[in-house]
Structure 1
Amino acid sequence: MVNNLKCLIVDDERLARKELRLLLAPFKEIEIVGEAQNLTEAGRIIETAKPEVVFLDIQLPGENGFDLLEQTDAAFKTIFVTAFDAYALRAFEVNALDYLMKPVNPDRLGQTIEKLLNAEGKKPQINNQSPLRSLEFDDRLLVETGEHSFFLKINSISHINSSGDYTEVFTIKGRKFLIEKPLREWEERLPEKYFARIHRATIVNLEAVERVESWFNRSYQIYLQNSRESFTVSRRYAAKLKQKFG
């Protein structure tokens, strides 16, 4: 039996660490042995758990990820994960295995893991059945819109509309984002207690519902806070929605 590769994640953002954990979950050969939010914690984990690969953020509060490589003599492969491309040349000067830009693209991460496993003489075995992590109402999700990335507060979402392989995410404050994520994935990950699919192409935040009115043919109309438009609840989803509202 081949041993898993022990991995450490170093990032000062808790949610960034959680997202990377989620992305690494399908790779059976990767065993996450620790998380660190600063270099002191990282040094302790490296000493005790002896990871073989470190996913390392560069810009940490008052610190720089490169300093970790100077502070330890431990042997491990380094994969930088950062929102800045300015350090790419230096990363490869210190023999980093790879340099990933935030938000991390799953396909790009897959290439990195394949490179890592090839370097270790292993073959990637991806578990395509691994479920995506369920989101909590108070979570923040790292999302990408074009060239920009930001943390989206789940409880700030008013509703989500399907747009092919993309979704239009509307916030309670009236902002709109086009995100490369299908509606099906949102439905699987959003907390059922607070979000409901009301139509083939729409999910709403139940906390943002201002009122519900009966409509023709046993359907309903939903009105959301700070929104002038109404939303039709299709017959297919009406019964489930009625249960949620008691």
Structure 2
Amino acid sequence: MKAIIIDDERLARTELKHLLENFPQIEVVAEASNTTEGEQLIEEHQPDVIFLDVQMPGKTGLEWVEEYDGFMPEVIFTTAYNEFALKAFEVNALDYLLKPIELSRLSEAIYKLEKRLGFQKSQHEISELRQKNYLTAQDQIFIKDGEKCWFVRLEKVRLCESMGNYVRLFFDDQKPLVLKSLNALEERLDPKVFFRANRKHIINLNFIDKIEPWFSGGLQVTLIGKGEKIEISRRQSIRFKELLSL
């Protein structure tokens, strides 16, 4: 899939290109520092997706999308400000990424793009992802906590909870601790299955039993199994609703 990056900050373009190297199905064919340059490159390359900064000198990314009447690929907005999220989806953006962009969050956006375009990974590409230590729900992991050991499929892990420098994994009746930060664990988990609910928790989407409105625009989910109740922060609630919407 061909991609163009439109962002007035050279460092931001470089960082995004570096992150996109983790996705061999994406080819960055060009980059632009403003929407005027971007228009010309879009007409020339006919990309599948553009990564478009919201705030740029002159015409903003949102204004440009609303006014542009030429060939329009899928749009993934990138910005440091979350107040533009609602407007972005009003103009039918595929996704909205907050800077600094996290690899796991970018992976979610690429997955949406693949679904939208009907793109299927080849076995070669899947193999390359596995070589980068990307774990799927079907992978089995070895866990050792004290004298106890487990060999469990990730699909059985319903909840990951940060405990300082450790993460507590919840599966069946077990709650072992592993020496790993929640951020490090998140980078290795399949974002189509495991969702970062807040600073302390990652939940398995397949274990959600109930969703309720919560304080300050957030949500609370109840998990199947032991009935753990986990708050989804206001910021993450926007992502959660978009991820699970039709």
TM, length-normalised to structure 2? 0.50
Structure richer in strand, relative to its length: 1
Greater CA radius of gyration, 1 or 2?
A: 1
Structure richer in helix, relative to its length: 2
TM, length-normalised to structure 1? 0.50
